[in-house]
Amino acid sequence: MIEVAGLGKEVQSGEGRLTILHQISFRVMAAEAVAIVGASGSGKSTLLGLLAGLDLPSAGKVVLGGQDLSLLDEDGRAALRGRLLGFVFQSFQLLPALTALENVMLPLELAGARDAATVAREALFRVGLGERLRHYPKHLSGGEQQRVALARAFAVRPRLLLADEPTGNLDAATGSQIIDLLFAMNAEQATTLILVTHDEALAARCHRVLRLVGGRLES
């Protein structure tokens, strides 16, 4: 599903060039669940952004679904994301001016789905929000907002789901419910999952754990 080879990322800082990631290489097979763990500042979120083609590496390459992201322009990478990827973020990333239903419909409409409203409604019922379709994010709890985010991510039936600290803004009980739901929906759709987390117990639920230490993949 995804191949990473010799991936490196450097940025310019006030003290010169700063290496965030150094010589990262791994593969993730279809339908595999992989956790990326590491301390704050180890490069987890930077790596996730590179995997999604939201940023470009300083060295190496990311091959997603057989396509080398470095060979695509920004529009090409965006189109590939639209076809293959779903995202779940720590901060939910819902549009405040749209209802729960409209938030889930948006990526479907952007993909040209004719039945966007029906698919979005079914996805929200799946996450237990069938009675909250017309509610705006500000009227939903944190757990409910993350359920909307899950519905939005899975509604497009992505081949690869990228989740960045999906329970980071939730209390333990709510976070546990969200994770159970994420893994259940992931299994239903046989989606490949890459999960960034600092939670070792959560990481242990994945098939495999990749550990970043100081921007390097620990062997």
User: For residue range 81-111, what is the model confidence (pLDDT) as tens digits?
Assistant: 888 998 888 788 899 999 999 999 999 998 8
Domain boundaries, the chain: 31-53+79-214
Q: In the structure, what pLDDT confidence band is assigned to residue 50 with cuts at 50, 70 and 90?
A: very high
Average pLDDT score over the chain? 90
**Is 147:181 a contact under the CB 8 Å cutoff?**
yes
Q: In the structure, what pLDDT confidence band is assigned to residue 211 with cuts at 50, 70 and 90?
A: very high
Residue 14 has pLDDT above 80, yes or no: no
Of all residues in the chain, the percent with pLDDT exceeding 70 is 100
How many whole angstroms separate alpha carbon 177 and alpha carbon 79? 32
Q: According to the model, what pLDDT value does residue 64 have? A: 92
Task: For residue 84, list its beta bridge partners.
Answer: none
**Tokens standing for 51?**
């995997």
pTM score of the predicted model = 0.86
Give the pLDDT mean for 19-43.
91
Residue 166 has pLDDT above 90, yes or no: no
Give the pLDDT mean for 20-43.
91
Q: In the structure, what pLDDT confidence band is assigned to residue 199 with cuts at 50, 70 and 90?
A: confident
Looking at the domain 31-53+79-214, which fold is it?
Rossmann fold (3.40.50)
Give the pLDDT mean for 189-210.
91
Q: What is the pLDDT of residues 105-144, one digit of tens each?
A: 999 998 888 899 999 999 999 999 999 999 999 999 999 9
Distances (CA, A) of 38 to 13, 42, 63, 123, 205: 22, 6, 23, 32, 16
Give the pLDDT mean for 18-47.
90
**Is 171:195 a contact under the CB 8 Å cutoff?**
no
Give the pLDDT mean for 185-210.
90
Q: According to the model, what pLDDT value does residue 169 have? A: 80
Residue 219 has pLDDT above 80, yes or no: no
Of all residues in the chain, the percent with pLDDT exceeding 90 is 58
How many whole angstroms separate alpha carbon 15 and alpha carbon 161? 36
Q: In the structure, what pLDDT confidence band is assigned to residue 62 with cuts at 50, 70 and 90?
A: very high
